[in-house]
């Protein structure tokens, strides 16, 4: 699927989109999303809020895992905060480590535009046989 | 410290505040925050985005761990998504399980206004001896 | 099912059994296992090795999740080490937080015989429709 | 430090050693440990018990993080079980992703001798300023 088509589908991810996240590369099992940082992403200590990092990573995972069909949801995610953000833009890259019949495992790394590794996540996803509700 | 004073301090958490999160109860080691849900919190599948749940929980943790002084940051967090949100408002309750000299462990539960347990988190925090940067 | 019958079935968990773990209470969704500590459980720093705590907890989860049929495996587990063991016996209690059609979530707490909360785990399990191999 | 000297020091990790784990490569920030599998490592379903995988990985982390001095303990670890073991020997490789002043983050991969990626862990460690007890 073309990037343009994928971007269009994920316009529906309102929370990530309104936060400023954009898809820059996407195929089944891999996606890269970027986020230009603004004052809106700050926490009370002046840093970038953990929820911003998580949301960007979760979005990259959702794109990578659902390029072909919208049937994978995250079951559990772990985020490790590694360094303070020093740059002005973040990039999350989600990579499939294992895709089984029903579950999958992705790694997501978040770096800033100065090359600092800011956070890493491991996301365990569940793929429904059908796209129904209440899937897991 | 009074709730009003705490709410004022955490106005600085712009990302959580602009998302709609509000502190309803707070003391050192415990906090409850609520989030009335809107269309802005949706993902492409029509549910509440994982990043919304994480941000609300992370905010409740930050409040509970930093009521007295702003020196605790999260090191690593794990979120388990347990049920689809069916209600119209979320509540996150953060409780300190262990507070050591340098690190702490919090549990956060997220429920909706229909009483559904939506997600649970375990957050490991690091408390700096001084409030300096680059703390961990 | 009676405790005796359950203990018999889980004799097959050789690694946990040879380590010294014993089932003291078990029903679908809940189990308690104990481990009398010996020199064999030590690490190079003189404490109880993390692997001992994990194994005991994982065993309690396996018993709780598979009392009725042997179809649930763990997909991902997180362990938080909270306090040094000071007692001479450990107890792990596994409780089901959520049991869905295909996945489940358990909390496990590990305490020593002095009442110290030593570690906590969150375990995400996957329940196969049939007991076949290569299940997740 | 020579491998022989490191192996000698970690003889004290009785639980890992008696399970059969051996250090095959080690330097500060990196270690590889192997485990020839036997009937003793089995669970009730006939597979390798999760506790075996965790113990091997935790041992590799302990070696990698404490080659120079015995001051780092694990705070929290997450393990993702990815594939059933099919081979007869396991290898865990622990790599430092981030080493801060007080905390560190390691990735550990576990593969079998057929090249299957069996499990992955992310381990968050805490490094005490001094080697004292009750450190975190």
CA distance A117 to D98: 9
> Chain D contacts of A82, Cβ < 8 Å?
97-98, 105
Percent of chain A with pLDDT over 70: 94
Whether B122 sits inside 8 A of C78 (CB atoms) is yes
Decide if pLDDT at C132 tops 70. no
Q: What is the pLDDT of residue B134?
A: 39
Of C98, C105, C120, the CB nearest to B97: C120
pLDDT tens digits, one per residue of B42-51 = 887 889 999 9
Contact check, Cβ <8 Å, C55/D54: yes
Which one of D76, D101, D102 has the shortest CB-CB distance to B76? D76
What does pLDDT average to over chain A? Answer: 92
Comparing B131 with A29, which gets the higher pLDDT?
A: A29
As a whole number of angstroms, the distance between CA A121 and CA A92 comes to: 10
Residue-level pLDDT at B130: 54
Model confidence, pTM: 0.94
Instruction: Tell me if D80 and A105 make a contact (CB, 8 A cut-off).
Output: yes
* Confidence bin at A130 (pLDDT 50/70/90): low
ipTM above 0.90, yes or no: yes
Residue (of C30, C28, C48) closest to C119 by Cα position: C48
Residue D56 has pLDDT above 50, yes or no: yes
Read off the pLDDT of residues C97-114 as tens digits, 9 standing for 90 and up: 999 989 999 999 999 999
Is the model's pLDDT at A134 over the cut of 60? no
Q: What residues of D are in the A interface, CB distance below 8 Å?
A: 78, 80, 82-83, 97-98, 105, 117, 120, 122, 124
Note the pLDDT tens digit of each residue in C20-50.
999 999 999 999 999 999 999 988 788 999 9
* D130 confidence band (pLDDT: 50, 70, 90): low
- Nearest CB among C78, C122, C136 relative to A102 is that of C136
The string of pLDDT tens digits covering residues B7-32 is 999 998 999 999 999 999 999 999 99
Q: Which tens digits make up the pLDDT trace of C43-63?
A: 878 899 999 999 999 999 999
Q: In sequence order, which ranges of chain D are alpha helices (DSSP H)?
A: 3-9, 14-19, 50-65
Q: Is C50 exposed, middle or buried (0-12, 13-18, 19+ CB in 10 A)?
A: buried
The 10 Å Cβ neighbour count of residue C70 is 18
Q: Which residues of A touch B58 (CB under 8 A)?
A: 49-51, 54
Give the CB-side neighbour count of residue D23, counting CA atoms within 13 A: 26
**What is the distance in angstroms between the Cα of A32 and the nearest Cα belonging to chain B?**
17
**In C, which residues are within 8 Å of A102 by CB distance?**
102, 126, 135-136
CA distance D19 to D37: 9
- Quick one: which of B48, B41, B45, B43 has its CA closest to B16? B41
């Amino acid at each position: 699927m073309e990037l343009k088509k994928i971007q269009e589908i994920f316009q529906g991810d309102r929370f990530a989109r309104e936060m400023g996240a954009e898809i820059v590369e996407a195929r089944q099992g891999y996606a890269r999303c970027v986020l230009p940082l603004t004052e809106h992403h700050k926490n009370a200590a002046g840093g970038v809020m953990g929820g911003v990092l998580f949301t960007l990573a979760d979005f990259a995972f959702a794109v990578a895992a659902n390029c072909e069909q919208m049937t994978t949801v995250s079951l559990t995610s772990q985020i490790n905060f590694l360094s303070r953000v020093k740059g002005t833009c973040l990039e999350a890259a989600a990579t499939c480590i294992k895709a089984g019949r029903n579950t999958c495992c992705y790694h997501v790394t978040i770096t800033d535009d100065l090359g600092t590794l800011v956070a890493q996540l491991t996301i365990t996803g569940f793929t429904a046989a059908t796209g129904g509700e209440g899937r897991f």
